[in-house]
Structure 1
Amino acid sequence: MLQTVTGLIHEKEAGTILVHEHVLVGFVEDGKLTPEDYDRDEVVASILPLLMQLKEAGCSTFVDCAPEYLGRDPYVLKELSAKSGLRFVTNTGFYKAPYLPPFVYQATERELSDLWTREAQNGIGDSGVFPGYIKIALNDGTSINETQQKILRAAIRTSFETGLPIQCHTIGGDTALHAGEIMREAGYDRERFIWVHAQTGKDLTVHQRLADEGMWISIDSILPGTYDKHVELLQQLRNHGVSSEQILLSQDTGWYTVGEEKGGNLRPYHHLLTDFLTYAAQQGLDLDWLQQCVTRNAYRAMRIRS
């Protein structure tokens, strides 16, 4: 099942899923972002019209990918769910420097995992909202630094204990390979791990290898002006033997930016469903498969494992 901010749902209820989007993001260093830094009512009023467009386009479930200290707000998501009729999924987990609070650098893997496991079991604060997955990030580069390795191992431990999948901001194939090695050492099922921003990997044999091991290949940033390059990438992934069952599609768009007037430049959420899928099909990709990427594949990637 899929854990939303309003409860558990089955695949049929989940419908069409955008697996990597954002409602609210605050790039405030050292974990200092708090709800006092923004107006919840303004966030809801700003984002709601975009969500209504998205719902009209056929979306049912929206996965919000801002972790704690970067804009996660279960109260905003609950209100948006009630007003839009969309289902929202939020997370537990932390991002990366410079947006980590100081205690993360001193905490042990077990201490971090215990924090996230408690949220998974008891809910986020007094919100009554339970996380549906673990959101983390790896530093950009060819290898993963000590702090982000600790966060990755803590996420793996949390996933073992809760069944929650992991979405991981991962830039480049070398970083994805390093993460895969850490997961193999831990005996972790890569089917619980989503390589977010997989379009940043240039060697597509890496995608094929990791997909064969069960890892989810999430192609996002599919925005107006990028359609041709994303169609080409999807065609190349298929040609390289990357399993069609392992590919996810999303936009990584939105969002209300804390500190900018009225949230800054808010981008619509509906274009992938209203424009890109049709365009990609016109360019030769199978429309049924494209829709599978945002329905069956997305649900299987995001579901809670026993």
Structure 2
Amino acid sequence: MSAIRTVLGDVPPGDLGVCDAHDHLFFGSPLLPGQELRSVAAARAELAAFREQGGQAVVQWTPYGLGRRAADLPPLSRESGVHVVAATGLHQAVHYDEDTLAGLRGRLAEVFVSELTTGIGVSGVRAGLIKVAGGFHGLDAHARWTMAAAAEAHHATGATITVHLELGTGALDVLDLLCGELGVPPHRVVLGHLNRSPDLVVHRQAAESGCYLAFDGPSRTNHATDWRMPDAVRALADAGFGDRLLLGADTTTAAARSVGGGPGMPYLLRRVRPRLVHAVGEDLVGRVLTENPGRAFAVEWR
């Protein structure tokens, strides 16, 4: 039977509820000095604010080595009443030092499988997805290595693979590798950040493969794509791909949290949801926030 692997155990997809399909409760990278998401109190407040807006589930895409604080996730989920899904996987090479990467050579898929089936470190918290990343309009050797390991772990466990697309680019290259060369079923792949590259043709081609398409996070400075996102969602819905769409807030810095004065997780339901209801209707937006993530992240675990 298909189930979503949360930090408190496996749950049926119908129990997930209104879901932020891509976000971070904890995250730290040398690329974002001083903006780490490390505070348990701030994570608790963010979940409470999300819950107040009607949120019921958060899928955390923070992968290996970037400050997941896995042991803190179960009590946060229990206290807030919000389902939380943790991730294994590996981000782009620039987020790690050479010693960390060297220590994973030859055993990356093994690490992914262990964190999906046994647990993350000593926490015992099992990951519910595999997160990897592409490059800007292409795939370097690191991306190919991590995606090969992710595919191996998928074949061993059934887990969904989520992909950070750099500025929303490289979607078709990712699908060629994961679903073509490596044999991952497209419906087990989630492409992230498609809102950052509003290429409707590429969106349509990616959707035709059968993968899920995530529109996650407000525009960054000088990347003014927010106003185009509803049109992209409507174009996909009109083409019959409404069941492949996901939404997320992707909070990656302390300043971006709602408790820090930024949009944070509540922005997804407070501002993005009504904007999309205006574009595509309440029924579709409701399904995108509930039924779609339920299917995207529920797998028959092996």
Q: TM-score, normalised by structure 2?
A: 0.86
SS of the residue corresponding to residue 94 of structure 2 reads coil
% identical equivalent positions: 25
Structure 1 residue identity aligned to 2:64: E
Residue equivalent to 1:200: 196
Q: Give the 5 Å matches for 1:145-184.
A: 145-171=140-166, 175-183=170-178, 184=180
| C-alpha separation in 2, matches of 1:305 and 1:110 | 27
Q: Which amino acid aligns with 1:237?
A: L
Q: In structure 2, what is the Cα distance between the partners aligned to 1:44 and 1:108?
A: 28
When residues 71 and 286 of structure 1 are mapped into structure 2, their CA distance, relative to the original with a 3 A threshold, is same
Between the aligned partners of 1:52 and 1:114, the Cα distance in structure 2 is 35
Deviations 1:245-299 (A, max 9, x none): 1111111126447xxxxx96654311222332223323x4121101111111111
AA in 2 matched with 1:245: D
- Tell me what 1:20 maps to: 22
Unaligned runs of 5+ in 2: none
3-state DSSP of counterpart to 2:139: coil
1:53 paired with 2:49, answer yes
Corresponding residue SS for 1:68: coil
Q: Distance in 1 between matches of 2:102 and 2:199?
A: 35
1:68-147 correspondence runs (5 A): 68-103=64-99, 105-106=101-102, 111-140=107-136, 142-147=137-142
For the structure 1 residues 102 and 223, does the alpha-carbon distance in structure 2 shift closer, same or farther, using more than 3 Å as the test?
A: closer
The 8 Å contact of residues 62 and 88 in structure 1, kept in 2 or not, is answered as yes
Q: CA deviation at 1:78?
A: 1.9
Give yes or no for contact 1:109–1:151 (8 Å, CA) kept in 2: no
Normalization by structure 1: what TM-score? 0.85
Asked if 1:246 is matched to 2:244, the reply is yes
One-letter identity of the residue aligned with 2:21: V
Return the offset for 1:60.
1.2
Q: Give 1:123 shift.
A: 0.8
Secondary structure at the aligned position of 2:75 is classed as helix
Residues 226-258 of structure 1 deviation map (CA, whole Å, 9 limit, x = unaligned): 75332222223335x26111111111126447x
Kept after mapping to 2: 8 A contact 1:255/1:267: no
- C-alpha distance in 2, partners of 1:99/1:227? 26
Tell me the secondary structure at the aligned position of residue 10 of structure 2: strand
Q: 4+ runs of 1 displaced by more than 4 Å?
A: 37-40, 103-110, 223-227, 263-266
| Matching residue within 7, 10, 17 for 1:8 | 10
Q: 2-side partners of 1:39 and 1:235: how far apart? A: 33
User: The residue matched to 1:195 in structure 2 has which SS?
Assistant: strand
Name the CA shift for 1:189/1:231 in 2 (closer, same or farther; >3 Å): same
Separation in 1, partners of 2:6, 2:173: 31
Q: Is residue 187 of structure 2 the alignment partner of residue 191 of structure 1?
A: yes
Equivalents in 1 of 2:131, 2:72: separation in Å? 18
Letter of the aligned partner of 1:144 in structure 2? L
For 1:199 and 1:226, the matched residues in 2 are separated by 7
> Aligned partners of 1:242, 1:13: CA distance in 2, in Å?
25
1:78-114: CA deviations, max 9, x gaps?
Answer: 2311221211110111111211242565578752101
- Letter aligned with residue 288 of structure 2: C
Q: Across the two proteins, how many residue pairs are aligned to each other?
A: 292
Separation of aligned partners in 1, 2:160 and 2:36 = 30
- The amino acid that maps onto 2:177 is I
RMSD of aligned alpha carbons: 2.9
Cα gap change, 1:203 to 1:38, in 2 (>3 Å): closer
Say if 2:231 is the partner of 1:232. yes
CA contact (8 A) 1:90 1:133 kept: yes
Kept after mapping to 2: 8 A contact 1:132/1:304: no
Q: Give the gaps of 5 or more residues in structure 1.
A: 30-36, 258-262
Q: How has the CA–CA distance of structure 1 residues 12 and 255 changed in structure 2, closer, same or farther, with 3 Å as cutoff?
A: farther
Q: CA deviation at 1:77?
A: 1.5
